[in-house]
Structure 1
Amino acid sequence: MINLQSHTKVAFAYFILAAVLGVLLRAFHSLAIPINYKFFVHTHSHIALLGWAYLALTTLLYKIFVQDAIVDKKYRHIFWFTQVTLLGMLLTFPFQGYALFSIMFSTLFLLASYWFFWFFRKHVKIEFRKSNAYSCVKVALWYLVISSLGPWALGAVMNIWGPESVWYRLAIYFYLHFLYNGWMLMAIYGLFFHLLEQLGIQLPQKTFKKFFISINLGILLTFFLSTLFAAPPGILYVLGGVGALFQLLALAVLFLFLIRNKGEWLSVLSKFQRDLLKTVGFLLVVKMVLQLLTAFPYFANLAVIYLDFTIGYLHGTFLGVVSISLFLFFDFFGLMRISKSGYWLYLTGFVITEALIFFRGIASWLRLSLFDGYYEALAVASLLIPLSFLFIVFGKQNLSTT
Structure 2
Amino acid sequence: MNLKRHINVALGYFIIAAFFGVVLRSFHSFEIPINYKFVVHGHSHIALMGWVYMGLTTLIYKLFLANKALEVKYRRIFWFTQLTLVGMLVTFPFQGYALFSIVFSTLFLLASYWFVWFFLKHIPAEYIHTNSYQCIKLALWYMVLSSIGPWCLGIIMNTLGAGSIWYRLSIYFYLHFQYNGWMVLALLGLFIYVIEGKGIKVPRKTFRQFFWMINLGILASFFLSTLWTKPSMFLYVLGGMGAVLQIGALAVLFVFSRKVMGALTKIFNPLQNKVLITIGVLLALKMFLQWVSAFPYFARLAASITDFTIGYLHLTFLGVVSMGLFLFLDYFRLLKLSVGAFVLFFIGFVLTEGLIFYKGIASWLGFGIFKGYYGSLALASLLVFVSLVTLLVRKGQGELE
Is the TM-score greater than 0.5?
Answer: yes
Unpaired runs of 5+ residues, structure 2, are none
CA distance in 2: counterparts of 1:255 and 1:215, whole angstroms: 13
CA distance in 1: counterparts of 2:370 and 2:284, whole angstroms: 30
Say if 2:335 and 2:395, in contact at 8 Å, map to a contact too: no
**1:281-339 superposed Cα distances (whole Å, 9 cap, x missing partner):** 00010000000000000000110111100100000000000000000101111111111
Output the amino acid matched with 2:171. I
Secondary structure at the aligned position of 1:202 is classed as coil
- 1:119 maps to 118
1:13 has 2:18 as partner: no
108-117 or 263-272: bigger deviation: 263-272
- 1:35 maps to 34
1:325 has 2:324 as partner: yes
- Structure number with higher relative contact order (C-alpha < 8 Å, ≥ 6 residues apart): 1
**1:17-74 superposed Cα distances (whole Å, 9 cap, x missing partner):** 0000000000011100000000000000000000000000000000000001001000
- Output aligned runs, 1:3-402, within 5 Å: 3-395=2-394
Secondary structure at the aligned position of 1:288 is classed as helix
Identity of aligned residues (%): 58
Say if 1:241 and 1:295, in contact at 8 Å, map to a contact too: yes
**Distance change in 2, residues 1:390/1:400 (3 Å):** closer
**1:349-378 superposed Cα distances (whole Å, 9 cap, x missing partner):** 000000000000000111111101000000
Say if 1:21 and 1:44, in contact at 8 Å, map to a contact too: yes
Could you list the runs of 4 or more consecutive aligned residues of structure 1 that deviate by over 4 angstroms after TM superposition? 396-401
Say if 1:280 and 1:325, in contact at 8 Å, map to a contact too: yes
CA distance in 1: counterparts of 2:37 and 2:346, whole angstroms: 27
Say if 2:348 and 2:381, in contact at 8 Å, map to a contact too: yes
CA distance in 2: counterparts of 1:308 and 1:6, whole angstroms: 36
Output the amino acid matched with 1:14. Y
Secondary structure at the aligned position of 2:336 is classed as coil
Output the amino acid matched with 2:389. L
Shift of 1:392: 1.2
Say if 1:339 and 1:397, in contact at 8 Å, map to a contact too: no
CA distance in 1: counterparts of 2:199 and 2:10, whole angstroms: 29
Output the amino acid matched with 2:255. L
Secondary structure at the aligned position of 1:70 is classed as helix
Output the amino acid matched with 2:160. W
Unpaired runs of 5+ residues, structure 1, are none
**1:128-178 superposed Cα distances (whole Å, 9 cap, x missing partner):** 111000000000010011000011111111122100110000111001100
Output the amino acid matched with 1:143. Y
Output the amino acid matched with 1:190. G
CA distance in 2: counterparts of 1:39 and 1:337, whole angstroms: 33
Pairs aligned (count):
400
Say if 1:334 and 1:399, in contact at 8 Å, map to a contact too: no
CA distance in 1: counterparts of 2:28 and 2:388, whole angstroms: 24
TM-score (norm 1): 0.98
Say if 1:222 and 1:239, in contact at 8 Å, map to a contact too: yes
CA distance in 2: counterparts of 1:64 and 1:124, whole angstroms: 10
CA distance in 2: counterparts of 1:68 and 1:27, whole angstroms: 46
Output the amino acid matched with 1:39. F
CA distance in 2: counterparts of 1:325 and 1:19, whole angstroms: 17
CA distance in 2: counterparts of 1:135 and 1:37, whole angstroms: 41
CA distance in 1: counterparts of 2:399 and 2:92, whole angstroms: 36
Shift of 1:268: 2.9
**Distance change in 2, residues 1:242/1:31 (3 Å):** same
CA distance in 2: counterparts of 1:194 and 1:268, whole angstroms: 12
Please tell me the root mean square deviation across aligned C-alpha atoms, in Å: 1.1
CA distance in 2: counterparts of 1:139 and 1:330, whole angstroms: 21
CA distance in 2: counterparts of 1:241 and 1:313, whole angstroms: 17
